[in-house]
């Protein structure tokens, strides 16, 4: 389905009745990365499950050159308004988590709970910002296959690479389905994102932090340390998973989020 939000066609899915849970996807994938969680949680008959594609990914259009986290958070708020959802649990993985922090800053009173997976509150270092610009230019010059070649080794664990070829293939397919413009706009947007570390101590909603034990992008110790700064936050690690923990170890990821959501 599509909604016209902030002058942009945003693709989303919306199933079930109950506590609204919004799923925010990673870079440079799309909302189909949450298909397993959505199907399994729908069967629990307790939740309204919503996912959306960021601008330039999946089926959403891209009218802008830089997709800042604030702009994407505005799309989340716009979609909530459009669907008549006042408050929702946000489940964001990696870039989805960066957007979740922007949501917290912009409309924290509408966040009923937070699942932060394989993400970090901190901003990019100057070196990371320069890398983002390289990613943006590579996408523009060589297209999405070059991005898949570059990103895949960072995104999944050695275990996944060696033992789950179909998971790697699915991730490659998702990356190749993105648009070069969407990748460039999001990479430049992530480079500009604010440091949200100041928000941690004031997070008042139930929060679950999840970390892939072999995440090459967010070291486990860093995830544990920011989780420790969120009052009452739960922390879970997923063995044999890298950065895309829900795709690499779907059963364990699902069990962890399902038990958290049931506690709300
Ligand atoms: C993601 O998975 O969303 C990205 O890898 C995040 C990042 O590069 O910081």
> Does this model's pTM top 0.85?
yes
What's the confidence (pLDDT) of residue 134?
98
Tokens of 256: 């962890």
CA distance 100 to 90: 7
Give pLDDT tens digits for 108-158: 999 999 999 999 999 999 999 999 999 999 999 999 999 999 999 999 999
Distance 74 CA to ligand 1 centre (A): 20
Distance 262 CA to ligand 1 centre (A): 28
3-state helix, strand, coil in the chain (%, to 5): 50, 20, 30
Q: Ligand 1: which residues within 6 Å by Cβ?
A: 26-27, 94-95, 190, 217, 243
CA distance 136 to 27: 12
pLDDT band at 234 (very low <50, low <70, confident <90, very high): very high
What's the confidence (pLDDT) of residue 80?
98
Ligand 1 closest atom vs CA 97: 3
Q: Residue 48: beta bridge partners?
A: 20
Percent of the chain with pLDDT over 70: 100
Percent of the chain with pLDDT over 90: 100
34 to 37, 91, 105, 121, 171: CA distances (angstroms): 5, 10, 24, 22, 12
Count Cα neighbours of 120 within 13 Å in the Cβ-side half-sphere: 20
Please, what is the average pLDDT of the chain? 98
Give pLDDT tens digits for 195-209: 999 999 999 999 999
Give pLDDT tens digits for 48-75: 999 999 999 999 999 999 999 999 999 9
């Amino acid at each position: 389905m599509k909604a016209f939000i902030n002058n942009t066609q945003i693709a989303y899915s919306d199933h079930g009745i109950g506590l609204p849970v919004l799923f925010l996807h990673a870079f440079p994938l799309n909302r189909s990365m949450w298909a397993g969680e959505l199907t399994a949680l729908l069967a629990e008959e307790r939740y309204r499950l919503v996912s959306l594609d960021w601008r330039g990914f999946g089926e959403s259009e891209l009218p802008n050159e830089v997709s800042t986290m604030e702009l994407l958070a505005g799309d989340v708020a716009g979609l909530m308004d459009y669907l008549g959802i006042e408050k929702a649990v946000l489940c964001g993985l990696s870039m989805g988590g960066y957007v979740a922090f922007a949501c917290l800053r912009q409309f924290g009173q509408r966040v009923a709970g937070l699942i932060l997976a394989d993400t970090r509150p901190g901003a990019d270092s100057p070196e990371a910002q320069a890398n983002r610009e390289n990613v943006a230019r590579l996408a523009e010059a060589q297209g999405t296959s070059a991005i898949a070649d570059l990103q895949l080794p960072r995104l999944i664990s050695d275990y996944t690479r060696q033992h789950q070829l179909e998971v790697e293939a699915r991730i490659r397919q998702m990356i190749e389905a993105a648009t070069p413009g969407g990748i460039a706009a999001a990479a430049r947007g992530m480079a500009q994102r604010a440091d949200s570390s100041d928000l941690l101590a004031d997070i008042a909603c139930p929060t679950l932090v999840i970390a892939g034990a072999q995440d090459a992008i967010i070291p486990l110790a860093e995830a544990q340390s920011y989780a420790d700064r969120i009052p009452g936050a739960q922390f879970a690690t997923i063995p044999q998973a890298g950065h895309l923990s829900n795709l690499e170890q779907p059963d364990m990821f699902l069990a962890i989020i399902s038990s958290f959501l049931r506690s709300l």
